[in-house]
Amino acid sequence: MRDLSRLPNLDVALIQTELTWHDPAANCAHFQALLQQAQGADLIVLPEMFSTGFSMDSAALAEPEDGPTSQWLREQAQALQAVITGSLIIRAADGSYRNRLLWARPDGSLAHYDKRHLFRMAGEHKYYAAGEQQVLLEVKGWQVRPLICYDLRFPVWSRDAQHTDLLLYTANWPAARRNHWNRLLPARAIENLCYVAAVNRIGEDGKGHAYSGDSQVLDFQGEPLLGAGAADGVFRATLSATELAAYRERFPAYRDADPFTLA
C-alpha cells in the first residue's frame, strides 16, 4: 500500500455559481473571472455541464472532443498551473453524445470520465450514452476518482475498489432533492474512508428548476471541512494526507470489505 503520509497537502477550490442557459461563451467568461480567485489551488472544480446548464439538447449543444470549451479549459489549467475539472456536453469520436468530465492538467493534457448513471427522470438516457468504466486520476500523488451527479446514488459504482483518496462529485443537483445530496455525500465518505468534494450550482435553469448549491468538502468520517450553502463564489479547503493515513491505520474497515467486480 502507498505511504500516504508522505504526500503533501492538497488545496481544493470549489466554484459554485449560477449558469447561463445554453451559452458556453458567457459561462466561460464568467468562470474565467472566478478562476482568478482560485489561484494557488492544486485542484479546481466546476459544476456539471458548466458551459450550458443541465440540458437534454445534446445534438445542438455538443462540442467535438477538442472543441472550444475543451481548449479553453486546457488554457486555464496551464495559466493557473492547476488541475481544473468539470463536465460538459461532448460529441465523442464514435458519434455518441456524452456528459463528459474533463480533467485538464497544468501541462495542457486532458483526461476524461463519462457519466455512468444517466438521470432517466429527465430523459438523460435518451440523449446521452452512458460511460462504461471508472477512472482514477492523480494530482500531487493523490488518487482522485471523479463522478457526476446521479452517480452519487449508486454506492457500488462509488465504492473504493482502487484505494481512492478523494471522491469528487460535480453536479446540477436540484433544490427539491437537496436533503438526499446532503445525506448521501457523508455516507460515501464514511464507507470509502476517503475525502469527498462535491460541487453543485445555484440559481435557476432554463427549464425553471432551482438549485440550492450545498457544495461541500467532507473528511473521511463524513465531517464537513467546508460548506458553501447557497452562496456564489470560490470556496477552498485543504486536505491532509497525513490525517487520512492515520485514520485508515486506526480504523482499517477496508480490510473487511466484500470483494466484487463490476460488469
Question: 138: which 3 cell numbers?
Answer: 492523480
Q: Is residue 159 part of a domain?
A: yes
Q: Is residue 260 part of a domain?
A: no
Over the stretch 36-78, which tens digit does the pLDDT of each residue have? 999 999 999 999 999 999 999 999 999 999 999 999 999 999 9
166: domain range?
8-254
User: How many CB atoms are closer than 10 A to CB 161?
Assistant: 17
Nearest to 101 by CA among 117, 114, 90, 119: 114
| Residue showing cell 446548464 | 53
To the nearest whole percent, how much of the chain has pLDDT over 70? 99
Provide the CATH number for the domain around residue 162.
3.60.110.10
Examine the pLDDT at 250 and tell me if it is beyond 80. Answer: yes
Q: Is residue 3 part of a domain?
A: no
Q: Is residue 120 part of a domain?
A: yes
Rounded to the nearest integer, the mean pLDDT of the chain is: 96
Q: Is residue 259 part of a domain?
A: no
**Distances in whole angstroms, Cα of residue 173 to Cα of each of 67, 198, 247:** 26, 11, 30
CA–CA separation, 103 and 138 (whole Å): 10
User: How many CB atoms are closer than 10 A to CB 175?
Assistant: 17
Looking at the structure of the chain, the number of domains it has is 1
Q: Is residue 1 part of a domain?
A: no
- Per-residue pLDDT averaged across 183-203, rounded? 97
Could you give the maximum distance between any two Cα atoms of the chain, in Å?
Answer: 52
Q: Is residue 2 part of a domain?
A: no
- Per-residue pLDDT averaged across 168-186, rounded? 98
- Three-state secondary-structure class, residue 133: coil
Q: Are 98 and 70 in contact (CB under 8 A)?
A: no
pLDDT band at 85 (very low <50, low <70, confident <90, very high): very high
Q: Is residue 62 part of a domain?
A: yes
**Distances in whole angstroms, Cα of residue 74 to Cα of each of 91, 138, 186, 251:** 18, 16, 31, 39
- Per-residue pLDDT averaged across 10-19, rounded? 98
Catalytic residue numbers, as ranges: 48, 115, 149
Over the stretch 131-165, which tens digit does the pLDDT of each residue have? 999 999 999 999 999 999 999 999 999 997 568 99
